[in-house]
Structure 1
Amino acid sequence: MGMSETSWNPTVLWSRPESERAGTPLLVLFHGYLSNEQDLMGLAPLLPPEFTLASVRAPQALGPGFTWFPLMQEADFSVEKVAASVGDVWAWLDTVKGNHSSVTLLGFSMGMAVATSALRHRPAEVAAVVGLSGFAIPAGGHPFFDDEATAALRPPVFWGRGDADFVIAPDKVVFTHQWLDGHAEAIKVEYPGMQHNINQEEMEHVSAFLREHVLDKRKDKAATPTG
């Protein structure tokens, strides 16, 4: 496995002290390019309070912040680097997820590429994904991405973006539409006039999505006798 036997010990900002996390649903936040773990914690008041939030700092320092891997248009980008970075994310998740009732992933911009890639590696272990102003990676058949298993499960994915967002290149947007159509139960919302950011209406949609696909499902499970 190489890098997945990780020595990476990420900087993580938690919304609750460790003593209050057991049994709560986990929502992992992945920030965008050149940002940091503080960035998405501002969303905390706009998200359902049942979740424990864990905002993770990307591994590579760059410019004013951090990155998960090189940008796709850069010469040193490779799907292998995405797989290594997301493999490390899973190695960390394995150390915390046993404490939680479910794992949901939320990413902004490049963080959406991380969240969807993590889903594609182990789709059965992720309750839902929220992608904000981001994209999915064209994996080119790389074995780290189990798109077959993902398509079989069709996990719930929310994808919100602004129609005035010119940061994410059109080909990435087209690929993400196609990938979601083939592999997920996707809710896609485009916000008129919104640029490369997040707005109040979008966060209301995200909260409703999380309630329906994660929190209510949990109640259903509790209410349904098995066997």
Structure 2
Amino acid sequence: MDLKFIVREPENITPQTQLLVLLHGYGSNEEDLFSFRHDLPEDWIIASFRAPNNSDYDGYAWYDIDFNNADKFIDIDQAVDSMKQIMKSIENLKHHYNLETKTNIMGFSQGGILTYAMTLTYPEFFNKVACLSAYPEPKILKNIKGKKQIQHLRFFVSHGNEDAVIPLEWGRKAADFLYELGAFFTFREYMTGHGVNQKNYMDLMEFFKK
């Protein structure tokens, strides 16, 4: 089933038009990261997906989290199922707009965790990758491609140094992990909690524009 999404279309769309997919965090919705669209390249298609599962407090989740059980911090079946739905939805979007370009993707927190897994497993579909306040989850990182297959990817990784949800240490491990894989990435820490502050936001926009 296709995921619900909202989209901003540029005036002109050709097979070479860039697509940027946005994946929100746990308990949020498709409106969240979509607010970034005002500062993203005007000639790109910006599509923000809604996660398929309901979470507490009227939001949505890519998978359930059991905060009281470290082993259940990620519902693997739901995470894998969400990734399949995201990949299918991206494929359908590309088909709908007749795009020949690789997809750019940005994920925050839970959305970023899935972004790591999808881009490292299916790098041939992706181009620029932003993982915000997230980490690579070993339980869903299967069949990671080698250096040769991922060398075209460009990662922007950011983390708040006072993140109380996903520890900064996990973000730093992500940078080590990408380094060992031989991936091209920028890793930045910001004076903030589990979120994106002004400086982080400006650096992120710069990453997509250059």
Do the aligned residues in 2 keep the contact of 1:104 with 1:127 (CA within 8 Å)? Answer: yes
* Gapped regions of structure 2 (runs ≥ 5): none
Does structure 2 retain, via aligned residues, the 8 Å contact 1:120–1:150?
no
Contact 2:109 2:132 in 1 (8 A): yes
Instruction: Note the 1:77-226 alignment, pairs <5 A.
Output: 77-98=74-95, 99-100=98-99, 101-139=101-139, 145-149=142-146, 152-154=149-151, 155-169=153-167, 172-183=170-181, 184-191=183-190, 193-212=191-210
Amino acid at match of 1:173: G
1:9 matched to 2:2? yes
- Number of the residue aligned with 1:46: 39
Q: Deviations over 1:194-223 (max 9, x none)?
A: 1111122222212222233xxxxxxxxxxx
| Superposition deviation, residue 20 in structure 1 | 4.8
Q: Which runs of 5+ in 1 are unaligned?
A: 1-7, 213-227
Q: Say which of 28, 32, 48 aligns to 1:35.
A: 28
Once the two structures are TM-superposed, the CA of residue 74 in structure 1 deviates from its matched residue by 6.1
Take 2:102 and 2:128, find their aligned partners in 1: how far apart are those partners? Answer: 9
Given that residues 163 and 195 in structure 1 are in contact (C-alpha distance below 8 angstroms), is that contact kept between their aligned partners in structure 2?
A: yes
Equivalent pairs counted in the alignment come to 200
Deviations 1:62-94 (A, max 9, x none): 112110012373638343432221012111111
Residues 102 and 56 of structure 1: CA distance in aligned 2, closer, same or farther (over 3 Å)? same
Paired with 2:127 and 2:73, the residues of 1 have a C-alpha distance of 32
Q: Percent identity?
A: 24
CA drift of 1:15 comes to 1.0
1:152: how far off? 4.0
Pairwise CA RMSD: 2.4
What is the rounded CA distance, in whole Å, between the counterparts of 1:25 and 1:36 in structure 2? Answer: 23
- Whether the 8 Å CA contact 2:157–2:175 is kept in 1: the answer is no
Q: For 1:46 and 1:200, how far apart are their aligned partners in 2?
A: 12
Call closer, same or farther: CA 1:108–1:76 in 2, change over 3 Å.
Answer: closer
Alignment-derived partner of residue 68 in structure 1: 62
Distance 1:123 1:166, change over 3 A: same
Question: Matched residues in 2 for 1:104 and 1:28: separation?
Answer: 6
Give the distance between the partners of 2:77 and 2:147, measured in 1 at CA: 19
